[in-house]
Amino acid sequence: MSVRTRFAPSPTGHVHIGNMRAAIYNWLFARHHGGAFLLRVEDTDRERSTPEAIDTLLRAMEWLGLEADEAPLYQSTRMEAHLAAAERLMELGLAYRAEKGGAGSGECVLFRMPGRTISFEDAIKGTLTKAAENMEDFVIVRSNGTPVFHLANVLDDIEQGVTHVIRGDDHIENTYRHIALYEALGAELPVFGHLPMIVNGQGKPYSKRDGDAFVGDFRANGFLGDALFNYLVLLGWSPGDDREIMSRDEMVEAFVLEKCQSSAAQVDLKKLSWMNYEYILQLSDASFRSATREALSVAEIAATEEQLDAVIPLIRERVKTLTEIAPLCRFLLRDDYAYNEKAVAKKLLKEGVQETLAALRELLLEVSSFDAPTLNRLLHDYVERSGKGFGAVMPPLRICISGEQGGPDLCPVLEVLGRDEVIRRLDRAVEMFFD
């Protein structure tokens, strides 16, 4: 039997990382077994499942590299089949019409639970059981004639030939009902695997209030799709050794459901940030360059190819999220940077700084060659000779030419800006802060 898994989201306009993790696990499981990964869009709630919401979902999947192997099945196109199945169940005496919400609310169709204990072997949680007395008949077609989630979900899984249903453990209660439906419909049961919840530090379901929770937020905040993918894979699963940064191939190779943890998985955004940094470091030069070009264009900072050649080495190992690129580059490409007020107060507006800057101006004007090693020697000599200490020399100079106290290494920055620009910026700052 060839493995077929699916991702069956209900598009709402946001894609929560918990849903995406389920998609990733289904994708990995299918790839591991050389099977198929399918998409089913559960878009029966027409108010929420707008074309934009569906587009958000598809873009999130594309960004994470989760391609489906067949065309998506849109649940809303299957209503006739769902209703026909409900009719069939009624003919078999396995479903019946009744008033559910009290007299006058109209008749719906209810599924008759078989009246026995239902047990199944969950691929992640082990044996799960629910006693007959705790299960009641349930609605499968509303009084307005629309099919209910349970019926649609099961029928579509049968239609798509799904062999493994991997989803959040908030669906366990549904699964008992679904198993009864499968049996009533005479269909073979898939294997079920229920994933533990993703929680915050207090053990509560992880939500927007705890930090970024939607895939689109991570993208907007400069995370790489591959980094988020890797992070989510490890949120509730481990390869069984201490590997953390893993290639797609390695993940596919190692992914087995038995290694999924059955208890809740806690989000650690710091770890994701670390991982994102590692992934950015691993980007090829061409990818980093195109990310830089894009970030600058969004920030409306113009840069020629020669400028990119000069600037990229300065920021290459400092970028932790792609959103840091433009702010890091700005002062290198334009002179309309702001001066950080705190830095100015702390390091610039100090006794003796104006004299230091005047001395540095002379040295920088006269130094034979304006390259980083020469400048480095020059500044070191000056620090030593003047007895002022690095803290009284480097930060003021840096603030004058960049507006900030921190940033890429100073001497390579001076080299890239060039002598004329450095002198111009020094003069401007001195005039602004001291005259």
Q: Is 404 in the site for ligand GLU (CB under 6 A)?
A: no
Residue 239 beta carbon to ligand GLU: minimum distance, rounded to whole angstroms: 24
Nearer CB in complex with ligand GLU: 194/398: 194
β-pairing, 265-266 vs 198-199, is: parallel
Nearer CB in complex with ligand GLU: 39/375: 39
Whole-angstrom distance, CA of residue 395 vs CA of residue 297? 30
Query: Are the beta carbons of 98 and 74 closer than 8 angstroms?
Result: no
- Contact with ligand GLU (CB under 6 A) among 4, 5, 9, 347: 9
Whole-angstrom distance, CA of residue 19 vs CA of residue 168? 8
Residue 153 beta carbon to ligand GLU: minimum distance, rounded to whole angstroms: 5
Structure tokens at 412: 């390579």
Structure tokens at 151: 């019926």
Between 12 and 51, how does the x/- string for binding to ligand GLU read (CB under 6 A)? Answer: ------------------------------x---------
Q: Is 403 in the site for ligand GLU (CB under 6 A)?
A: no
Residue 75 beta carbon to ligand GLU: minimum distance, rounded to whole angstroms: 8
Query: Are the beta carbons of 429 and 399 closer than 8 angstroms?
Result: yes
Whole-angstrom distance, CA of residue 330 vs CA of residue 31? 43
Residue 168 beta carbon to ligand GLU: minimum distance, rounded to whole angstroms: 7
Question: Taking Cα atoms as reference points, which of 262, 135, 119 lies closest to residue 194?
Answer: 262
Judged by CB under 6 A, which stretch of 3-11, 46-54, 112-120, 379-387 contacts ligand GLU? 3-11
| Amino acid present at 63 | W
Number of C-beta neighbours around residue 259 at 10 A: 13
Question: Taking Cα atoms as reference points, which of 186, 196, 220 lies closest to residue 124?
Answer: 196
Give the list of residues 6+ apart from residue 385 with CB closer than 8 angstroms, or none.
Answer: none
Label residue 66 exposed, middle or buried (CB < 10 Å: 0-12, 13-18, 19+). buried
Number of C-beta neighbours around residue 27 at 10 A: 28
Number of amino acids touching ligand GLU (CB under 6 A): 7
User: Angle formed by the axes of helices 172-184 and 149-159, to 10°?
Assistant: 60
Q: Is 8 in the site for ligand GLU (CB under 6 A)?
A: yes
Question: What is the DSSP code string of 136-151?
Answer: --EEEE-TTSPBPHHH
Nearer CB in complex with ligand GLU: 59/171: 171
Nearer CB in complex with ligand GLU: 15/414: 15
Residue nearest to ligand GLU according to CB distances in the complex: 167
DSSP 8-class letter at 156:
H
Query: Three-class SS of residue 110?
Result: strand
Whole-angstrom distance, CA of residue 19 vs CA of residue 47? 20
The H-or-E segment that residue 128 falls in is strand 126-130
Judged by CB under 6 A, which stretch of 6-14, 289-297, 331-339, 404-412 contacts ligand GLU? 6-14
Judged by CB under 6 A, which stretch of 5-13, 51-59, 210-218, 392-400 contacts ligand GLU? 5-13
Residue 150 beta carbon to ligand GLU: minimum distance, rounded to whole angstroms: 10
Question: Taking Cα atoms as reference points, which of 279, 281, 304, 317 lies closest to residue 416?
Answer: 304
Between 136 and 175, how does the x/- string for binding to ligand GLU read (CB under 6 A)? Answer: -----------------x-------------x---x----
Residue 178 beta carbon to ligand GLU: minimum distance, rounded to whole angstroms: 8
The catalytically annotated residue of 208, 259, 271, 350 is 208
- Asked about 208 being catalytic, the answer comes back as yes
Residue 7 beta carbon to ligand GLU: minimum distance, rounded to whole angstroms: 7
Judged by CB under 6 A, which stretch of 2-10, 30-38, 287-295, 424-432 contacts ligand GLU? 2-10
Label residue 265 exposed, middle or buried (CB < 10 Å: 0-12, 13-18, 19+). buried
DSSP 8-class letter at 123:
T
Residue 24 beta carbon to ligand GLU: minimum distance, rounded to whole angstroms: 13
Question: Taking Cα atoms as reference points, which of 7, 27, 4, 3 lies closest to residue 237?
Answer: 27
- Sites of contact with ligand GLU (CB under 6 A): 8-10, 42, 153, 167, 171
Annotated active-site positions, please?
Answer: 208
